[in-house]
Structure 1
Amino acid sequence: MSASLEASADPGQTLDYDAIVIGAGMSGLFQLLRLREMGMKVRVFEAGTGVGGTWYWNRYPGARFDSESYSYGFSFSKELLEEWNWSEHFAPQPETLRYLNLVADKFDLRRDIQFQSRVAAAHWDEAARTWAVTLEDGSRHVSRFLITAIGVLSAPTLPRFEGMDSFRGLSFHTARWPHEPVDFAGKRVAVIGTGATGVQTIQEVAKTAGHLTVFQRTPNWCAPLHNRKITEEEQARIKADYPTIFQRCQETFSCFLHTPDPRGTFEVSKEEREAFYEELYASPGFGIWVGNFKDTLTDRAANKEISDFVANKIRQRVKDPKVAEMLIPRNHGFGTRRVPLETRYYEVYNQPNVLLVDSKATPIQAITPTGLRTSDAEYDFDIIIYATGFDALTGAFDRIDIRGEGGLTLRQKWAQGAQTMLGMLVEDFPNMFMLLGPHTALGNIPRSIEYNVEWVSALLRHMQARGLTRAEASAQAVAAWTKHVKQIGAGLLTNEVDSWMTGVNRNVEGKETRVIARYSGSAPDYRAWCDRVATEGYRDLALA
């Protein structure tokens, strides 16, 4: 492809690469492989020292899958599926990182990856039809295409507390965990935040910490993970069943092995409902969230039924009634925010060395040299862990100076909310493709990654065959897709709640109000729309 690109380019413009990919996580690795197969000259720029993306950065204790391991790995290589054995139904972070390193080695991907290379800016040159990518070290690289593989939850955010730099002990965000082991034995530890990463961290730190204090602003509904080792017999069955497993993922609403029950909550008796809830609560994985009655996330009365059920489970598991009530959410129903999966998380609060603090009632006022101060008390700590989440969906884009036609920044383009075509293209930003942009189907992320990489690769092959060097989403296609995304989000209880799924992050200026920042329809419907665009010859794009 390089030759055809050069022939069509501005004679005065020299390309360093046919394509630059930002990020060496799962999407970046797979996109690199597909582009290389097309004969492209590709460079992947990765900020870290190794591959893995999410599984490179998030090394906090307890980090692991909450979708079944065998539904999460890559499906494109039968040889890879045969070679790799998942040890647990929900694999821990170190194992997943080993897996992704195996992928990089098996397909010889590292030779096209430049590590410790954070992208600072990417500017479009219309005359030359190229992207100029500048790294933080000042080096500049020119390519025909720019592909972002920067993730949905990859821009960690810290709270804006006074005195954070003054703390004399250890402190870090869960997504910037030290690469060397952290010893909690006998230590006074604070964890700030009780979202998914907070829950996983808390249940592990509590095992060895001298004393653990959890600062909770908003309680979350959690459900049991029910993880266990995979036996040899199960391993053989999984490998034999891989075609069925991945076919199931293609058919379900959000690419998990679970999908909504076709019945409505009140189509069955109260006794049947209770039995069904008990079955889901006792089952592994996300079934209780994405495999519940079909109206759980649209009907308030239905949502109250499951919320009351889980609230009673919390009361049964936490011995102190006051603490149990503190752990029950009051401002949102079950499943309307991302549901953390846990292993004896609630039992942590029965331990004498664990204290739960309501940081909404008694806000944290400042970090001090020896700990932190709330509105009613001072606390001394040896370690402070910030489990304060991410600037989701658009945050990783905001941290790069991306400029399209006429110098328009992506921040300016999305000032009133993201506008995309299929979550993969943006008008006024030609030759830029987003593998996990806002408005794309999420759910079981690797399934989305594989589809989107294949879609982008097919478009580039289409252009390659015709000697085309410029692709841009049309205004009409962007308007149609953005309208569709907003329409299918109507009536969902999740879009009435402040969370990263609605673009809210109080630690980020300008992101205090809700937006429709994600596609909330089914993955099969998403793929059908994308497939139609391709089969119609990409007429929704301006190709030249």
Structure 2
Amino acid sequence: MVGIQQPPPDYDMVIVGAGFAGVTLLYHLRKQGHRCRVLEAGSDLGGTWFWNRYPGARVDTEAPFYGLSIPEIWESWQWSEKFPSQPELRRYFAHLDKILGLKEDIDFHTRVTHGQFREDRWHITTANGRHLTSRFLIACPGPGTVPHIPSFPGLDSFQGTVTHSYEWPEEGIDLAGKRAAVIGTGASGVQIVQDWAKHAQHLTVFQRTPNTALPMQAESWAPDATLTHAAFCNYRHTHFSGVNYQFTPINTFDVADPAARQVFRESLWQRGGFPYVYANYQDVMTNPAANREMYDFWAWKTRARIVDPRKRDLLAPLEPLHPMGAKRPTVELDYYDQFNRPNVDLVDLRSTAIRSFEPNGLTTTDGRFFPLDVIALATGFDMITGGLTHMGLQSVDGETLYDQWRGDGGVKTYLGMSIHGYPNMFFLAGPQGPLSFSSGPIGIEVQCQLICDAIQSLHVGGHTIFEPTASAQEAWSHRVKAMFDGTLFLQSPDSWFLGGNIPGKKRELLTYAAGLPQYQKDCQKAFSTWEGFVRR
């Protein structure tokens, strides 16, 4: 008896997410002739720049290196700021759609709740009741899309306005005459404080760990008219992070003159942004003394901006709480200056803790009550893995990805883009890939090109299905973790680099740390022979 032949899948490719990764893949895969559909939970393009609409939100990477290399876009767009703001990023995505016609292949208000590969295809279910099938699933949820809200006692009893930075109301929040609080001083906390301090009647900032924020130095910025498209694209093949700077190839104390080292650091400081850390001497993340000298210069420059001695010691302590750079720094416009305002207070959550929320404020364990009308929770995300583990993905054996990665074995991937037990699936901007140490859009374009080339190679070879082997996945995961041997990153165990900001999450290194050029070589070598994969 002849078996019943299944109808073809609905699509060749289902892409989850319409941020930088999703739209870049859509553009390139359509050019290859694939039938694609993008599923996006939000109501517009932008990914993190759609959701993170809190006041002051902006990128931490200099223009134009926080953008795509697609020629039609490069030639038709000009950034207006050194560190573009969230509204400018929204305009950029609108421009992408205008030039590339993206929305015709995107379904908005469509959140994926389940996905499993069976019967040689992906079966995908969404929150609004749709069921789709596809040959390939490419997950692009973004590294920071699952907000972390600590289990504060009584939070639900607070009768004022409370919101996580990722869930900001589209209409904004009116601070006129309001007593406000920001809980958390990571990247979003720093940016919210810079805005709210200027508008709230009173602002209380609750800080656990001081942020080693770096000055933007954006006042006199102008676009680099000499940067060609070819040079922009070449940096991803030659420079660690894919941008126009990288660690200086000399050790700190090989420069014997302290005054010369001071002059060098001052030049980086005046440049602004991440170069102060990531264009510094090459040993600042391996040599404790070199790292301490880098921190001391930062503290000296920062402390000079803070008038109150108590706030100065909390915001820029003379003794660092962790090696500088072991937690991702942020960039700031005038963050430290806001604490000189008479309406801004700072609470040290290392000497006290939030005991409970009340209908009209919160109480700390030292007995103080803080009357509040508005609270911003800048408490971070289940970074790098959360977007993938909260999609309801199941392996061919029926185990959820959430349970697999939360187990004793921890996170396992191959090439930071594929997972054993999940055939015909790629993911971008996730664990054991290079994006934590690269420009987001540039790292995404690198991974996108690798994926498109791999899919083309698979078809040319006469295969339709691929899956990484368990042994290849184990070896890759071991190699990624070994990259941090001898570095100072392990001395900050509560960093999101290690998953340390989420209670119950396994502490492990979650990012590839050998740089974009080496990452491309590793992946190209594997895909050239499909080493570490089974194909059929």
Question: Are 1:501 and 2:497 an aligned pair?
Answer: yes
The residue that corresponds to 2:200 in the other structure is 209
> Per the alignment, in what secondary structure is the counterpart of residue 246 of structure 1?
helix
Question: Number of matched residues?
Answer: 525
Name the amino acid aligned to 2:489.
T
Return the match for 2:373 from 359, 364, 382. 382
**Deviation per CA, 1:72-97, whole angstroms, max 9, x where unpaired?**
111022x2112111001111110011
Question: Are 1:353 and 2:353 an aligned pair?
Answer: no
- CA contact 1:89–1:229 (8 Å) conserved in 2: no
Question: Are 1:464 and 2:454 an aligned pair?
Answer: no
Alpha-carbon offset, residue 230 of structure 1: 5.2
> Per the alignment, in what secondary structure is the counterpart of residue 200 of structure 2?
coil
Question: Are 1:434 and 2:427 an aligned pair?
Answer: yes
Name the amino acid aligned to 2:96.
V
- CA contact 2:54–2:172 (8 Å) conserved in 1: no
Question: Are 1:116 and 2:109 an aligned pair?
Answer: yes
Question: Structure 2: how far apart are the matches of 1:526 and 1:161?
Answer: 41
- CA contact 2:123–2:134 (8 Å) conserved in 1: yes
Question: Are 1:271 and 2:267 an aligned pair?
Answer: no
Return the match for 1:248 from 224, 235, 245. 235
The residue that corresponds to 1:161 in the other structure is 152
Question: Structure 2: how far apart are the matches of 1:395 and 1:474?
Answer: 23
Question: Structure 2: how far apart are the matches of 1:98 and 1:153?
Answer: 21
The residue that corresponds to 1:405 in the other structure is 396
Alpha-carbon offset, residue 274 of structure 1: 1.3
Alpha-carbon offset, residue 124 of structure 1: 1.6
Question: Are 1:540 and 2:529 an aligned pair?
Answer: no
Return the match for 1:172 from 152, 163, 175. 163
Name the amino acid aligned to 2:248.
D
5 Å-filtered alignment, 1:89-108, equals 89-108=82-101
**Deviation per CA, 1:291-317, whole angstroms, max 9, x where unpaired?**
111000111111111111112223211
Question: Structure 1: how far apart are the matches of 2:160 and 2:220?
Answer: 36
Q: Which runs of 5+ in 2 are unaligned?
A: none
The residue that corresponds to 1:3 in the other structure is none
**Deviation per CA, 1:371-401, whole angstroms, max 9, x where unpaired?**
1111121111121001111100111112121
Name the amino acid aligned to 2:282.
K
Name the amino acid aligned to 2:53.
R
RMSD value, Cα: 1.7
- CA contact 1:88–1:230 (8 Å) conserved in 2: yes
Name the amino acid aligned to 1:262.
P
Alpha-carbon offset, residue 50 of structure 1: 0.4
- CA contact 2:214–2:331 (8 Å) conserved in 1: yes
Question: Structure 1: how far apart are the matches of 2:39 and 2:220?
Answer: 36
The residue that corresponds to 1:6 in the other structure is none
> Per the alignment, in what secondary structure is the counterpart of residue 481 of structure 2?
helix
Alpha-carbon offset, residue 207 of structure 1: 1.3
Alpha-carbon offset, residue 185 of structure 1: 2.7
> Per the alignment, in what secondary structure is the counterpart of residue 143 of structure 2?
coil
Name the amino acid aligned to 1:364.
I
> Per the alignment, in what secondary structure is the counterpart of residue 333 of structure 1?
coil
Question: Are 1:192 and 2:183 an aligned pair?
Answer: yes
Q: Which runs of 5+ in 1 are unaligned?
A: 1-8
Q: TM-score if structure 1 supplies the norm length? A: 0.93
The residue that corresponds to 1:369 in the other structure is 359
Return the match for 1:338 from 319, 328, 349. 328
Alpha-carbon offset, residue 154 of structure 1: 1.5
Question: Structure 2: how far apart are the matches of 1:534 and 1:427?
Answer: 16
**Deviation per CA, 1:345-370, whole angstroms, max 9, x where unpaired?**
11111110000001221201112111
Question: Structure 1: how far apart are the matches of 2:330 and 2:531?
Answer: 41
Return the match for 2:248 from 253, 261, 275. 261
**Deviation per CA, 1:412-465, whole angstroms, max 9, x where unpaired?**
332222111110011111111011220001121111100111111111112223
- CA contact 1:438–1:517 (8 Å) conserved in 2: yes
Name the amino acid aligned to 1:302.
A
Alpha-carbon offset, residue 411 of structure 1: 2.3
- CA contact 1:59–1:177 (8 Å) conserved in 2: yes
- CA contact 2:308–2:340 (8 Å) conserved in 1: yes
Return the match for 1:55 from 49, 52, 59. 49
Name the amino acid aligned to 2:81.
E
Alpha-carbon offset, residue 405 of structure 1: 1.6
Structure 1 residues 248, 40: closer, same or farther in 2, change over 3 A?
closer
- CA contact 1:71–1:246 (8 Å) conserved in 2: no
Question: Structure 2: how far apart are the matches of 1:107 and 1:271?
Answer: 52
Alpha-carbon offset, residue 249 of structure 1: 4.0
Alpha-carbon offset, residue 244 of structure 1: 1.8
The residue that corresponds to 1:291 in the other structure is 279
* Residues 285-294 or 309-318, more deviating: 309-318
Alpha-carbon offset, residue 229 of structure 1: 6.4
Question: Structure 1: how far apart are the matches of 2:191 and 2:27?
Answer: 33
Name the amino acid aligned to 1:346.
Y
Alpha-carbon offset, residue 539 of structure 1: 3.1
